[in-house]
Amino acid sequence: MGKTTGFLEYERKLGPVRSEEARTKDFLEFHGQLPLAEQQKQAARCMDCGIPFCQFGGMISGMASGCPLHNLVPELNDLVYRGKMDKAYERLSMTHSFPEFTSRVCPALCEAACTCGTKDGAVSTKENERAVIEYAYEKGLVKEPAPAVRTGKKVAVVGSGPAGLSAALSLNRRGHEVTVYERKDRIGGLLRYGIPNMKLDKRVIDRRIALMEEAGIHFVVNADIGKTVDAKKLLKEYDSVILACGASHPRDINAPGREGNGVYFAVDFLSKVTKELLDSDIKKIPYDLAKGKDVIVIGGGDTGNDCVGTCIRLGAKSVTQLEMMQKPPVERTAGNPWPEWPRILKTDYGQEEAIFSFGEDPRVYQTTVKEFIRDKKGELTGAVLVSLTPERDEKTGRIMMKEVPGSEKTVKAQLVLIAAGFLGSEDYVTKSFGVEVDGRTNVKTKAGEYASSLAKVYTAGDMHRGQSLVVWAIAEGRAAAREVDRDLMGYTNL
């Protein structure tokens, strides 16, 4: 696979990235692509290792290692290296529904498990995939013809995020009549409103949705199942229903002063920013949401980083990002060997932009908010921060973060964004269908299966497995579609 000596001849090289000064002035995508000839050299670095963990997609020590979609990475890299881009797209499409999404927003589990990455930097598989899918769109190879034969079966998909869309795509190709219901005003779910435009240009979503509509998939927006649309209606009208609503119940910070203006859940804030951008065709930037404000972001994950980058673009006066846990090591420790997911310090685009804008990393570790401070009018003016220290719980043996007495510190803040993760699915949806949930409020199924406790109701994505990655959601959607198809038809060829 690839060039035999490629990993010795070529160093890892990524596509061009616009400077922090340029990209923080707009919400356009900032990560570009290499010329195809250069990308071929990057694909040549794939070293034909004996065990390609890049395509393993399993769990090691409780963490995913390799691609959950089981993309045949060495084969793809070999085709890119040889310039056979048509065949590369054909190969990628066998296992992947939406490479245009993951090649922009995935943390690249494949690269973290790459053998070459143990010494000289992983093969740039993520950018190889992007080169393939963008070439395919440019050359008109990405088509979605309507199925020649319909089965007569009807399936409803509730939720139009990556899990719902991948399930809908597979089931429509099989010949079932598929309708996707979305509670927001636009299709895309997390892809549309949870990920900022500078990471995933929404025209990339629209491009794919247009093909899916041409293939006969029906989309219904402003349809909030359990509120504006009765769940019983879907159960009556469809042969199967897939719940793919995400883990959209955010974890809150229950501190004094929490109620009132100025404190928002991160996804609500990011959704509002994106909606205003889309409503104006990216011509009007909603500076009023953060301009001149001291911002605190609570949470250190991808969403927290997106909040940092977004607030900088909106003209924030300062941005501080709080992380409860300890600062990760710069390199793998002995207890975190390859090919486990590397638990190491990563500086993402938002932090890079904060360092450029304010002269320092915005992250403050082992810290959280103890109190929100408000003036006599109820307006947020600051927050009391407190340091945390790890302590082992005597009963459970788990490491818990405890407050350090006397470590309180008051800082200015007129905007606080809570990006502390999610607790599971929203109960009004699960209750409206009457499906069982587990201890984390995710829809309960048998291990490795997607059927809920209610006949003909299935689940996929974050609503099934809890908060996770776009690539896992796509994999779950495809797997749930196979199970639905098998139960409807008695067999499946998906």
Under DSSP, is residue 190 helix (H, G, I), strand (E, B) or coil?
helix
> What are the tokens at 347?
């500086």
Task: Say if CB 180 and CB 163 are below 8 A apart.
Answer: no
Residue 488 CB partners (closer than 8 Å, separation 6+): 151, 153, 155, 176, 239, 240
Residue 202 main-chain phi, psi, to 5 deg: -65, -15
The DSSP symbol for 388 reads E
Assign domain 154-248+423-489 to its CATH architecture. 3-Layer(bba) Sandwich (3.50)
Cα 81 to Cα 87: distance, rounded to the nearest angstrom? 12
Cα 250 to Cα 463: distance, rounded to the nearest angstrom? 13
Low-confidence ranges of the chain (pLDDT < 70): 1-2
pLDDT at residue 368, rounded to an integer: 97
Under DSSP, is residue 73 helix (H, G, I), strand (E, B) or coil?
helix
Task: Say if CB 454 and CB 487 are below 8 A apart.
Answer: no
**6-138 belongs to which CATH class?**
mainly alpha
**What percent of the chain is helix, strand and coil (3-state, nearest 5)?**
35, 20, 45
Buried b (16+ CB within 10 A) or exposed e, 154-177: bbbbbbbbbbbbbbbbbbbbbbbb
The DSSP symbol for 252 reads P
> What are the tokens at 458?
């299935």
Task: Say if CB 167 and CB 481 are below 8 A apart.
Answer: yes
pLDDT at residue 99, rounded to an integer: 98
pLDDT at residue 395, rounded to an integer: 84
Residue 124 CB partners (closer than 8 Å, separation 6+): 12, 13, 14, 42, 45, 111
Taking the domain 252-420, which CATH number applies? 3.50.50.60
pLDDT at residue 393, rounded to an integer: 85
pLDDT at residue 26, rounded to an integer: 97
Residue 225 main-chain phi, psi, to 5 deg: -65, 130
Which of 217, 211, 221, 215 is closest to 188 using CA atoms? 221
* pLDDT digits 0-9 by tens, 237-258: 999 999 999 998 999 999 999 9
pLDDT at residue 1, rounded to an integer: 61
Q: Do domains 154-248+423-489 and 252-420 have the same CATH topology?
A: yes
Domain chopping of the chain, boundaries: 6-138, 154-248+423-489, 252-420
